Amino acid sequence: MKPFPTWLLDRTKNKDSHTLAAYEKAGGYQALATVLKKPMSPADVIQEMKVSELRGRGGAGFPSGMKWSFMPDPAKDPRPRYLAINADESEPGTCKDRVLMEQDPHGLIEGALIACYAIRAQAAYIYVRGEYRKSYDRCQAAIDEARKKGLVGKNVLGTDFSCEVHMHKGAGAYICGEETGLMESLEGKRGHPRPKPPFPAMFGLWGQPTTVNNVETIFNVPFIVTRGGAWHASIGTKGSKGNFLCGISGHVNRPGVYELPFGVTAREIVDEVAGGVWKNRKCKAWFPGGSSCSLVKGEDLDVVLDHDSLKTKGSSLGTAAMIIIDDHTSIARVMEIIARFYDHESCGQCSQCREGTQWLAQIFHRIATGHGLPGDVDALDALAKGMAPGKTICALSDAAAIPALSAVRLFRDELEECVRQKQDPIPYQRVEYAGAH
Amino acid sequence: MVKITVNGREVEADPKQPLIAACHGHDVDVPHYCYHPGLSTVGSCRMCQVEVQQGTAPGRVMVACRTYPAEGMVVSTESEKSHATRRECLEFLLKNHPLDCPICDKAGECDLQDFTYQEGQATGRSKEPRRPLEKRHSLGDVIVLDQERCILCSRCVRFFEEVPKKAQLTVASLGSRSVIATFADQPLTGNYQGNIADLCPVGALTLKGFRFQARVWNLVKMASTCAECSRGCSIQVEVLRGGDVKRFRPRENAAVNRWWMCDTGRFAFDHVNAKDRLVNSLVRDGHGLAPRSIEDGIAAVRALLDAHSDALFVASPFCTVEEGASIQALAKRRGTTALFVAPGPNGLKDALLHTGDPCPNRRGLTELGLQPIEPKELAKKLASSKAAVLFGERVVELAGAAAIAALPTSTALAVFDCKAPDAAACTVAIGVPTSVERTGTWINVDGQKGPIAAVKPAPAGVRALARHLAALDLRAEAARS
């Protein structure tokens, strides 16, 4: 792998990187000063974001500059407006935002302030996953520090711009990572996703115009402002610009969160960055971006990891959380665990998702434990097709159906074999994890 | 208004109302569970899938409750794609449904049953045991919840939030473990609980009072009007064939009660089901009130009227406009004015429907010229009168049964009521039908006409008040002879 410029995780190597002193020493809050004092207009910031071609890092990969420009014109729509930062990182395999929030919370807060300035929001809400206690504490401490320095609150840096940053702790529901579910939860209601339209830019938090961005997306903003959108657009592949945080987990020697440029292949990541598949085994299958995207076969590791290339393998980049599965692993058991997760996390509003996630979990459990019935694999395929795509209010149903469909598509023989033999052909082994670094 | 095509027929639709409303408005049925015209739309059951084509784009299957009509939209509710999507949805909905239709009170009027039948989902792939949940979960005095049958459409949750505006129910837990629940298992309160049993598209929420009372296909149903208060909610009276009234249910009426009714009105059928009815007539002789024929009773009333030219005419507030007009006409010919018993507010008034006025036809009778009189005033007036005739259903009860019983025998009282009065002053009593046994019109507090219907026959020996009044009409009698 060729050497490449990094910026996302650079500061995390500094001592006490989460403090304001360390952040300022590393050049922190310069981007905010540039925006406010140069001054750049909100439209300039959005334009810079558009030039940067940054795409959302929360899974859907929507162009961030365009998302910001959807916010209504404040001259025509004087309602209050908000920025919601999605830090409810709960996609299985994903742990990138956590590193940023724990090690470099000021980077997030600076990005949030600039984003609020660009979309003219009065306040930013950081919705942190409930289990991330350290992230919550570090971000809250950073906000308090920044407030003392006049960076958060009324008249930021002595200018007219005022902006609050609030922390909110989730209660551990996966569905609250869905943007409308997140807003409902922030409002103090059950995290039931709302039907769209209306979209958050018109009807978001408390019915006001709202932009919802992922932590890593917001974290990129100060860099784009200081170094220019064109700089960001010069890195990466067509349609996927900049660096991304890749969380690699599963059967590799060195699991962890790594900063990588778009354009590297999955094989490079597994072999060079993560130290190869453990125990000198082969990769049987892998998820490119969390458990909600299609499985990809082990022999397809040469695919370039970016938004568009993975589509050729029928999958997607998602949150760039690679899960590597070695060839000693039963796909039926992998899918049983994943299906059980979605059954546990479905919010229960839509019929297909509520009943379908449970159903998939039951069938995969049956197959994996040697009680599979004839026709089960076909049933999986038909049921998953009944759940996706776009048949429900939010994408959780799709997220449950897509891996199931890919498992049937790629590993039908293995699943059928499980059913036929009335036992899993790959005997169950207690998995000993190497432990994260 | 925009022009859309529904199943090949061009119709006008309101772009502010969901597509499903436009379809229903033009008699095109779209199966649905979570959608209800009186509640906000959540689009969660995913049942109302229809194929929508806009412009040159290929048709897409969309939920009709969250899609809004746009000019030139082509909608097909019957395309193979939309049927297939709905069948798929039903398969999921039926996965954990207990299918205990043979013992379910909702069977016969259950949307899950009807739409499954309609969509022809004959086979299911489910081999798993059904989700075991609580079958009899009490939600207070009115409602019992069967968690297994529930399809989580959340109509009941939204009803309490949006109609009485007092949230009481919620969906608790997540995903396939979701159940409808109240906070900390508290019982439901308020006067509008019964509505959620009507709203429930399946047999999950049932009325405790109707549980195992009837198979709904054995109920004779007729449109009528509620007698509970002067709101006069449009209702449907349901009578078990050859038996009792089993249910009052609200009937959609945008001008009066929309889709709702209060529990006081809903369960006010003890009176119409009462077994101790007054049939034929009772005429006082030396030993007390003795059963006689109707003709003997009428003769006794006529004798009373002949003897006392100043006899008071008092109607029940349950008298219809038609009955009130006859009473008033008779009174006028005798040179007096008829009164009607009008008890004051009963304290049940609320912001939604109940007016607190227990006189269903107060406005109708007042407009006819009958004078309302409070029970207390009436008792005084009766005590000082030589004779009086009380007309109509529940007149003695509303005038105060105790006050009537306490009247001195110096007042000669003739009573037309459903129940035999226990009053020494009563010289003659003749049976009349209840409000589910006769036809007529009430006029509600806002001037809306409410028809009442004869849903079941009156007991043998009970004739309509109109016939008694005709028989009493002295002038008609004179003309005949």
Q: What is the pLDDT of residues A83-93, one digit of tens each?
A: 999 999 999 99
Is A373's Cβ below 8 Å from some Cβ in B?
yes
Question: What are the phi and psi torsion angles at B253 (to 5°)?
Answer: -150, 105
pLDDT at A426: 74
Residue (of A166, A163, A165, A225) closest to A33 by Cα position: A225
> In degrees, to the nearest 5, what angle opens at C-alpha B147 toward C-alphas B146 and B148?
95
| A346:B126 CB<8 A | no
B371 — pLDDT class (breaks 50, 70, 90): very high
3-state DSSP helix/strand/coil % of chain A, to nearest 5: 45, 15, 40
CA-nearest of A355, A352, A346 to A292 is A346
Q: Which residues from chain A sit within 8 angstroms of residue B93, using beta carbons? A: 351, 355
The answer to whether position B223 is within a domain reads: no
- Please name which of B401, B432, B433 lies closest in space to residue B416, comparing C-alpha atoms: B432
Burial (CB count <10 Å: 0-12, 13-18, 19+), residue A123? middle
- Report whether pLDDT(A222) > 50: yes
Q: What is the mean pLDDT of residues A191-218?
A: 95
Residue B109 burial (C-beta neighbours within 10 Å; 0-12, 13-18, 19+): middle
pLDDT digits (tens, 9 = 90+) for A373-408: 999 999 999 999 999 898 999 999 999 999 999 999
Domains in chain A, CATH or no CATH each: 10-234 (3.40.50.11540), 237-326 (3.10.20.600), 331-421 (1.20.1440.230)
Look up the pTM and report it. Answer: 0.92
Residue B375 lies in a domain: yes
Sequence-distant (6+) residues with CB within 8 A of B122 are none
Contact at 8 Å (CB) between B22 and B69? yes
Q: Is residue B250 situated within a structural domain?
A: no
**Residue B86: domain span:** 2-93
pLDDT higher than threshold 60 for residue B119: yes
- Does the residue B349 lie in any domain? yes
Q: Are A117 and A45 in contact (CB under 8 A)?
A: yes
The predicted model gives B302-328 an average pLDDT of 94
Domain boundary among B93, B114, B144: B93
Looking at residues B329-339, what average pLDDT do you find?
A: 90
Last residue of a domain, one of B32, B65, B93: B93
pLDDT single digits (tens) B417-445: 999 999 999 999 999 999 999 999 999 99
Q: What does the block give as tokens for A72?
A: 């209504």
Contact B92 A354 (CB under 8 A): yes
Other CB atoms closer than 10 Å to residue B171's CB: what's the count? 20
Residue B154 lies in a domain: no
* Residue B232: inside a domain: no
From B71, B93, B115, the end of a domain falls on B93
Q: What is the pLDDT of residue B120?
A: 80
What CATH number did the domain enclosing B351 receive? 3.40.50.740
User: Which of B32, B34, B35, B44 is most worth mutating to test chain A (most A CB atoms within 10 A of its CB)?
Assistant: B44
A contacts of B170 (beta carbons < 8 Å): 190
Q: What percent of chain B shows pLDDT beyond 90?
A: 91
A417 touches chain B (CB under 8 A): no
Give the model's confidence band at A41: pLDDT under 50 very low, under 70 low, under 90 confident, else very high.
Answer: very high
- Give the C-alpha separation, A328 to A297, whole Å: 14
pLDDT in tens, A297-308: 999 999 999 999
Q: Within an 8 Å CB–CB cutoff, is residue A362 touching chain B?
A: yes
Mutate to test the interface with B, among A185, A354, A398 (most CBs of B within 10 A): A354
CATH number for B24:
3.10.20.740
Mean pLDDT for B442-465 is: 95
**Which residues of B fall within a CB distance of 8 Å from A357?**
175-176
Are B281 and B431 in contact by the 8 Å Cβ rule? The answer is: yes
Does the pLDDT of residue A321 top 70, yes or no? Answer: yes
- Give the tens place of pLDDT for each residue, A138-186: 999 999 999 999 999 999 999 999 999 999 999 989 999 999 999 999 9
Q: Looking at the domain assignment, is residue B27 inside a domain? A: yes
The verdict on residue B30 lying in a domain is yes
Q: Which of B33, B52, B125 to mutate to test binding with chain A, by most A CBs within 10 Å of its CB?
A: B125
| Cα of A351 to nearest chain B Cα, Å | 5
Residues 6 or more apart whose Cβ sits within 8 Å of residue B174: A173, A175, A344, A345, A346, A347, A348
CB spacing of B175 vs A379 below 8 angstroms? no
Give me the half-sphere count of Cα atoms (radius 13 Å) on the Cβ side of residue B355: 22
CA distance B440 to chain A (A): 46
pLDDT of A82-126, one tens digit each?
999 999 999 999 999 999 999 999 999 999 999 999 999 999 999
- Whether residue A437 is predicted with pLDDT greater than 50 in this model: the reply is no
CB nearest B66 (choices: A173, A195, A347): A195
Total structural domains within chain B:
2
DSSP, residue by residue, B35-48: --TTS-----S---
Report the Cα–Cα distance between both ends of chain A, in Å, rounded: 22
Tens-digit pLDDT profile for residues A408-433: 999 999 999 999 987 777 766 655 54
Structure tokens at B231: 């709101």
pLDDT of residue B478: 57
* Residue B223: band (very low, low, confident or very high) from pLDDT cuts 50, 70, 90: very high
CA-wise closest residue to A6 among A273, A281, A271: A273
